[in-house]
Amino acid sequence: MKVAIGAPNTVGSPEATVLSPPDRSVLRTRRKAGDTARDGRGRVATMPPILQYGFRPFFFLAALYAAAAVPLWLWANAGGPAPSGPFGALGWHAHEMIFGYLGAVLAGFILTAIPNWTGRLPLSGWPLAFLVALWCAGRFSSAFLTASVPAMVVDLAFPAVLAFAVWREVLAGRNWKNVPMAALIGVFGVASGIDHLAAMGQAPDQLGIRLALAVATVLLVLVGGRIVPSFTRNWLAKRGTVRLPAPFGALDGLAIAATAGAASAWMIAPEATATGALLLSAGLLVGLRLSRWRGLATRSEPIVLILHLGYAWLAAALVLLDLAALVPGAVPASVALHALTAGAVGTMTLAVMTRASLGHTGRAIIADRCIVAIYALVTIGALLRVAAPFADRGYLAVLSSGGGLWSAAFVLFVIRYAPVLWGRRAGA
């Protein structure tokens, strides 16, 4: 199933057809005019499959990068060589897992969703290849360019071009309901620039990281709040289940507003008492929202259940961020940060990547044993990473085990999904 957020309803009767708005599909208009450069799904037909749709290269590269970057960081942390770029070893790890890994996943998701939102053509072929090259250049600059300003310029080219592409499509398609999504993508790029400035001593330390994680938190509560109940409802309805996830209501709106407010406060003043209170309220509301989506009813289908687990990580991370703000001696900040990153972001992105890669390539959306193993590895790895600060003398062992298992989930994704992402659509 595609993540077709905000897609128009199908019109069924002749009378309705007369009253419906004009067809805004750029693809259908071009094909009716005899343009065959794109296939029936808007892809550049002459390009290899990996460059036909945004999710293909970016999901593959995101997983490949996560599989390599965490072990490299663990090696550097244990005394091995560190990247020679503008960041120190810890700064490089934080920057790259957020702006490298998560940036690629966001690109794959948004570039695939936008044609469904707007009816316009997907970014495909050479323009997509150019964007991929910019992402790769950014990873190189952050690791190897010692000159801070050139490294920043090269690294920021990718989020800047991505934001331009997203805004162009949203505005041209008059898709006003997804303007907030476009704005968040732009702010995410600004956060990367702030992190570079912080490495130069020109901005407060960690401000860019917190801004990016605040954006990620809002995206999780927004997008997760669309896809988790939607996919759960569809799966339960196919099985004739009467009790379905609760529809969007006042609680959902309150949870979104509380999370956005708490994330903003945490970005500005992470240790303030008021921030802690906002984070706790948001965490409880997100958890209550999740409880209305009938997650336990999906336990027989892991590819649906994992979405609920990712959203549960978000609720837990918000509560842990509250505890880190109010009782830092009991809950280290790294515990809360990795509940949000390794837990919520890692789990939810893998949930979307494993599902969307199957659905958008015409394959059955079912978790086989390999996909279940991916979910188990990312979950256990995240749990160990969160637990590591409490392991006393066993800290390094637990940290390395957690990082290794978490990365192994992405190694397995690369192995399992390389034929899917590099190959043709099933039945083509």
Q: What is the pLDDT of residues 60-113, one digit of tens each?
A: 999 999 999 999 999 999 889 999 999 999 999 999 999 999 999 999 999 999
Summarize the confidence of residues 32-45 as an average pLDDT.
59
Dig out the tokens for 294 from the structure.
């009938």
Beta bridge partners of 38: 44
Q: Which residues fall within 8 angstroms of residue 234, CB to CB, at 6 or more apart?
A: 1
pTM above 0.85, yes or no: yes
Q: Mean pLDDT score of the chain, rounded to an integer? A: 90
Determine the pLDDT at residue 427: 80
Residue 79, helix vs strand vs coil: coil
pLDDT confidence tier of residue 45, bands split at 50, 70 and 90: confident
Q: Which residues fall within 8 angstroms of residue 83, CB to CB, at 6 or more apart?
A: 72, 76, 89, 92, 142, 143, 144
Angle at 352 between CA 346 and CA 357, to 5 degrees: 125
Q: What is the pLDDT of residues 155-205, one digit of tens each?
A: 999 999 999 999 999 999 888 999 999 999 999 999 999 999 999 999 999
The answer to whether 212 and 99 have CB atoms below 8 angstroms apart is yes
Q: Domain-by-domain residue ranges, the chain?
A: 32-205, 223-428
Q: What is the pLDDT of residues 399-408, one digit of tens each?
A: 999 999 999 9
Q: Which residues fall within 8 angstroms of residue 374, CB to CB, at 6 or more apart?
A: 350, 354, 409, 412, 413, 416
The CA-based diameter of the chain, rounded to the nearest angstrom, is 73
Dig out the tokens for 147 from the structure.
């000159």
For the domain made up of 223-428, give the CATH fold. Cytochrome C Oxidase; Chain A (1.20.210)
Quote the percentage of the chain above a pLDDT of 90.
Answer: 83
